[in-house]
Amino acid sequence: MRRKKKRKIMSDPEQRKVQTNGIWMNIAEQGSGPLVLLLHGFPQLCISWNYQITELAKHGFHVVAPDMRGYGGTDSPPNPASYTLFHLVGDLIGLLDELGQEQAFVVGHDWGAEVAWHLCLFRPDRVRALVNLGVPFRPRSPTAKPVELMSHMFGEGFYLCQYQEPGRAELAFARYDCLTVLKKLLLLGAPDLLTAPSGVEIIDFLDTPASLPPWITEEELRRSASKFQSSGFTGPLNYYRAMDKNWELLKPWQGSKITVPTKFIVGNKDVGFQAFGMKEYIEGGEFKALVPNLEVVIIDGHHYIQQEKAEEVTREILSFFSSFSPM
């Protein structure tokens, strides 16, 4: 019988706190050379990039992965109004200033990808090149707020709709320990649309996996769970609660394009790729029209591909960033 290959646990890089945009931000940091920012998504932390931090640093990059606003060791303002894309991009501009860097290479995943797209939209002068994972740049609807649109399309049981009411998801999450919450959210076992039946909370609807995939260990999950035990889930959930406010604020950029050179990587089994018409959007002409300098790479994998396919994703990042002349 073939033995399952055990995933090597990466040691943590150095961590420290810096002040940016009115908050204290915790960052993991390693290496020297051109700066690379690694931006995590929901519900993860800077340590989800440990493999990329180590490998990119070995290849001559100064790698910085922050705990994003609301996560881990970074400040977590309680008000959803403090989590607009202007706040989140502002945190990164302040971080670049604090690090004394005019430009950075940027990699984003999930919500980190959303923030990275808007960093490129608002301040393309600060980004040398971009690699985004899982979440494509999407056009702003000229007429409908996103939560209203999602509720109409998928119903009130859709996870994004359930996350809107302050305290609701936190109360539901609190029925489980943080380790179980992370297992449910990171190792999804639900229909594609992530919509719970009427009267059922999404966290109750999601299965708790009986075993872990080879790309993550119980120890890694426990370490992340201990951080969420301290910081809670309100900050991460506030990203979703600011979506309609983002829609209002982004009106001046209606129809704008991303001009930064970009590689987009997505797993062919990612729920977000298979649902919502995203496969057709990514493979069709509309995505390319909005991001003209775009390369799309579809690999065999699910949503958390920076961990599931760490070596392959890191090779893609290195091949892309190495094609640019040194800063």
Q: Where in the sequence numbering do the catalytic residues fall? A: 110, 240, 303
Tokens of 227: 């951080």
d(CA 231, CA 80) in angstroms, rounded, equals 15
Residue-wise burial string across 240-270, b where 16 or more C-beta atoms lie within 10 A, e elsewhere: bbbbbbbbeebeeeeeebbebbbbbbbbeeb
Name 89's Cβ contacts closer than 8 Å, sequence gap at least 6.
Answer: 115, 118, 119, 122, 123
Give me the helix-helix angle, 310-321 and 50-58, nearest 10°.
40
d(CA 169, CA 162) in angstroms, rounded, equals 7
The full DSSP string for 171-223 is HHHTTS-HHHHHHHHHS--S-TT-BPPTT--HHHHSPPPSS--TTS-HHHHHH
d(CA 105, CA 268) in angstroms, rounded, equals 25
Neighbours of 164 (CB within 10 A): 18
d(CA 64, CA 216) in angstroms, rounded, equals 22
d(CA 106, CA 233) in angstroms, rounded, equals 25
